[in-house]
Amino acid sequence: MRDAHQPGQLAKLLGKFEDRSAVIAVIGLGYVGLPLSLRYSTVGFRVLGIDIDADKVGRLNAGSSYIEHIAHQKIATARERGFAATSDFARVAEADALIICVPTPLNVYREPDLSFVLGTVNALLPHVRPGQVVSLESTTYPGTTEEELRPRLESRGFVVGDDVFLVFSPEREDPGNPDFETRTIPKVCGGSTEACLQAGMALYGPAIDQVVPVSSTRAAELTKLLENIHRAVNIGLVNEMKIIADKMDIDIHEVIRAAATKPFGFTPYYPGPGLGGHCIPIDPFYLTWKARQYGVHTRFIELAGEINRDMPQWVIGKVTDALNERGRSLKGSRILVLGIAYKKDVEDMRESPSVELMERLRAKGALVDYSDPHVPHFPRMREHRFDLSSVALTPAAIASYDVLLVATSHSAFDYELVRQHARLIIDTRGVYRERLPNVVKA
First to last CA, the chain: 60
Q: What distance in Å separates the CA atoms of residue 48 and residue 50, rounded to the nearest whole number?
A: 6
What is the torsional sign of CA 237, 239, 240, 245?
A: positive
Give the residue among 338, 408, 323, 399 at the shortest CA–CA distance from 368. 338
Helix axes 353-363, 299-325, angle to 10 degrees: 50
Distance of alpha carbon 56 from alpha carbon 70, whole angstroms = 14
Q: With beta carbons less than 8 A apart as the criterion, state whether 421 and 394 touch.
A: no
Rg (CA), the chain: 24
Question: Any idea what DSSP says for residue 378?
Answer: P
In the chain, the amino acid numbered 436 is L
Q: How far apart, in whole angstroms, are the C-alpha atoms of residue 273 and residue 337?
A: 12
175-200 per-residue burial string, b: 16 or more CB within 10 A, e: under 16: bbeeeeebeeeebbbbbbbebbbbbb
User: What distance in Å separates the CA atoms of residue 93 and residue 10, rounded to the nearest whole number?
Assistant: 17
Distance CA 427, CA 254 (A): 14
From 101, 189, 196, 279, the catalytic residue:
279
- d(CA 81, CA 73) in angstroms, rounded, equals 12
101 in catalytic set: no
Map residue 75 onto helix, strand or coil.
helix
Residue 405: enclosing H or E segment and its boundaries? strand 403-406
> What type of residue sits at position 385?
R
Largest alpha-carbon pair distance within the chain? 84
What does the alpha-carbon distance between residue 371 and residue 127 come to, in Å, rounded to a whole number? 46
Q: Which residues are catalytic?
A: 279
